[in-house]
Structure 1
Amino acid sequence: MALTEKQKMISGEMYQAWDEELVADRQKAKKLCFALNQTCPTDKDARQALINELLGKETDAWIESPFNCDYGYNLKVGKGFYANHGCTILDCAPINIGDNCLLAPGVVIATAGHPLDPVERASGEEFAKAITIGSDVWIGANVTVCPGVTIGDNVVVGAGSVVTKDLPANTVCVGSPAKPIRTLAINDKKAELIE
């Protein structure tokens, strides 16, 4: 039995983004993002209900406006998730985020990609690669996280960085592409830099 375009998308195969089911799913997410972005910041109950509907489960996640995502259902966040103003998440493939993760303003997390070949790209073919972000991660302002990467636990990604490859746990990472510049010693009370 042939896979649907949605099944291909989620599994990382090439797929057609303009498939009727995927268009309907994106429209639903866009409608929820629009409603969230138009809801008063102080109306916490209404905002939380919209966040829960967008993510498809009861959660304590908090998302500031404006916020945009492709589907919502591919975004799995742990306890204590916070996304500051202006974050965009292209969740064509699964994005798994651990507990106590913070996204600073302007963060982009994108699983979506396009073929390098211009003929293939013009045909509408796309692909998506899953992203995993561990627990206790802080992603700085205007960071871009590219398709297919894993960010380990306790990582700090400096503002403006571009994450193109996996980042090891317990590190401070900066640059384009982002690379570890410091290691963190994690103990029960606090994290300390190790030179």
Structure 2
Amino acid sequence: MTERERQRAGLWYDANFDPELLALREEADELCHLINQTSPRDAARREGLLERLLPHRGEDVTILAPFYADYGANCVIGDHTFINHNAYLMDGATITIGSWCFIGPSCGMYTASHPLLAAERNRGLEKADPITIGDNVWIGGDVTILPGVTIGDGAVIGAGSVVTKDVPAGVVAAGNPCRVLREITERDGIGELG
């Protein structure tokens, strides 16, 4: 079994010294660099680079630079999602972001875990668990999402939160560690616009 196959199977794999994984990350790093250096006015070039980095991106997705991903190909981003400046998607496992999501600035989604024993960690081992974010989720600025977390449809995650466990649909959650504060109800509407 190759290290990439081990990675995809959710097993411990050599993330630091395997030539295939190093080459894939180097390619993604180069694409991120080019995206982040492209003028916002050069939409065609930027779109072409994003297509190469993020082949599983829906329609009308906005991603503001700088943006970083370890592989890119392990990210699935739904239609009409907005990702603000300085997002980092550590996609050793799949990161799925639903449609109509708002991702605040400096959001980090980290699928990788490392061994606690230094000797094992120094061998370059890691394990990656997927992150899943439902539709219509709003994630505030400076939020950290840890490996294996699922955030349900319509949830709102407060700025600065560290999400260590699953968050159900339709709630406001915040804190370090992130915890559910309350359900979102019709009373949260802004009322008549006028």
The correspondence for 1:13, drawn from 4, 11, 21, is: 11
1:149 counterpart = 2:145: no
Question: Which structure 2 segments of 5+ residues have no match?
Answer: none
Q: Deviation of residue 39 (structure 1)?
A: 0.4
User: For residue 168 of structure 1, what is the aligned residue in structure 2?
Assistant: 168
Tell me if structure 1 keeps the 8 A contact 2:149–2:163. yes
* Structure 1 residues without counterparts, runs of 5 or longer: none
Q: CA RMSD in A?
A: 1.6
Letter in 1 for 2:5: Q
- Following superposition, the deviation at residue 115 of structure 1 comes to 0.7
Matches within 5 A, 1:39-78: 39-57=38-56, 59=58, 60-78=60-78
Deviations 1:25-70 (A, max 9, x none): 0011011100100000122222122111111246432211111110
Deviates more, 1:12-21 or 1:45-54: 45-54
Q: How far does residue 179 in structure 1 lie from its aligned partner after superposition?
A: 0.7
Letter in 1 for 2:158: G
Q: Aligned partners of 1:69 and 1:58: how far apart in 2? A: 13
1:36 alignment partner in structure 2: 35
Shift of 1:83: 1.0
1:86-142 C-alpha deviation (Å, 9 max, x unpaired):
111100001111111111110000101101111111111111111110000111000
**Does the 8 Å contact 2:54/2:75 carry over to 1?**
yes
Cα distance in 2 for partners of 1:57, 1:91 equals 13
Q: 2:26 matched to 1:27?
A: yes
**Partners of 2:170 and 2:140 in 1: CA distance:** 15
Normalised by the length of structure 1, the TM-score is: 0.92
Aligned pair count?
A: 188
What is the alpha-carbon distance in structure 1 between the residues aligned to residue 95 and residue 56 of structure 2? Answer: 15
Letter in structure 2 aligned against 1:124: G
What SS does structure 2 have at the residue aligned with 1:173? strand
Task: Provide the rounded CA distance (Å) in 1 between the counterparts of 2:27 and 2:55.
Answer: 12
1:23 is displaced (CA, Å) by 0.5
Stretches (4+) displaced over 2 A: 57-60, 190-193
Alignment of structure 1 residues 85-100 onto 2, 5 Å: 85-100=85-100
Contact 1:162 1:178 in 2 (8 A): yes
Q: Indicate the larger mover: 56-65 or 116-125.
A: 56-65
User: What's the counterpart of residue 115 of structure 1?
Assistant: 115
